Amino acid sequence: MTGRFEGRTAIVTGASRGIGLGIAQRVVDEGGKAVITARKEDELAEAIKELGEGNAVYSAGKADDPEHQEATLELAIKTFGSADFLVNNAGINPHAGNVIELGADAARKTMEVNTVAPLLWTQAAYRHWMKDHGGVVVNIASVAGLRPPPMIGWYGVTKRALIALTEQLGMELGPHIRVNAVAPAVVKTKFASLLYEGKEEEVSAAYPLKRLGVPEDIASVVAFLLSDESSWMTGQTLTIDGGVTLAGQL
């Protein structure tokens, strides 16, 4: 790898597995350090073994807990000396079905984790490091935020809001802080299993590239957005979807 992240530290939320862990691995592979977060300490400890002792540390807690956010920023700076990158990957989708049937508590919780938490993480990163040193934020949105999806409509609403937040912060935080997002289609992770398990061949047939995504597909694009190679980009959302939205499908 290029070593383009040497001397830089990334905080990646929701990174005990799947897309988040793939992103943390890419940062480490390219010479950087990673602070990974998630709720379950045992899964985080296993993820650290994959990333390599000395390359990463973990911080266990709920993504929408402000005290956890503050503690994670402090851990990053204390351990590795900086908090250059923030990847807001943590997300939930407790409701599968039509939005008209969605309960208020589930609606509020999904918005808190998927949209409000990324704002609060960015505010914490700004206060602790980026205001004085600059930095890069990448939000993990979804193609569900680009047009109304079947079955996961409220998740899509929260991701559409995250895309709007990306644009707003991109406008506000330049020139020294860049904020971009990626919008993946179905990626083969435990989180997305409802959308493809037992029917992967049928689902992937709708994709021009005839396969579903894997975490490495997303990690490579996030690495580009974190790097100086994208230094003239902010407030943008890159679609990573195997071509499925070309035909208006999700």
Half-sphere exposure of 168 (CA within 13 A, CB side): 10
Give the H or E element holding residue 125. helix 117-125
Is 58 labeled as catalytic in the residue annotation?
A: no
Q: Which of 58, 155, 196, 207 is catalytic?
A: 155
Q: Burial level of 35, CB count in 10 A (0-12/13-18/19+)?
A: buried
CB 34 within 8 A of CB 28: yes
**Would you tell me how many other CB atoms lie within 10 Å of the CB of residue 123?**
14
Q: Which pair of tokens denotes residue 28?
A: 């480490």
- In angstroms, the Cα distances linking 226 to 9, 136, 144 are 11, 6, 23
Please identify every residue annotated as catalytic: 155
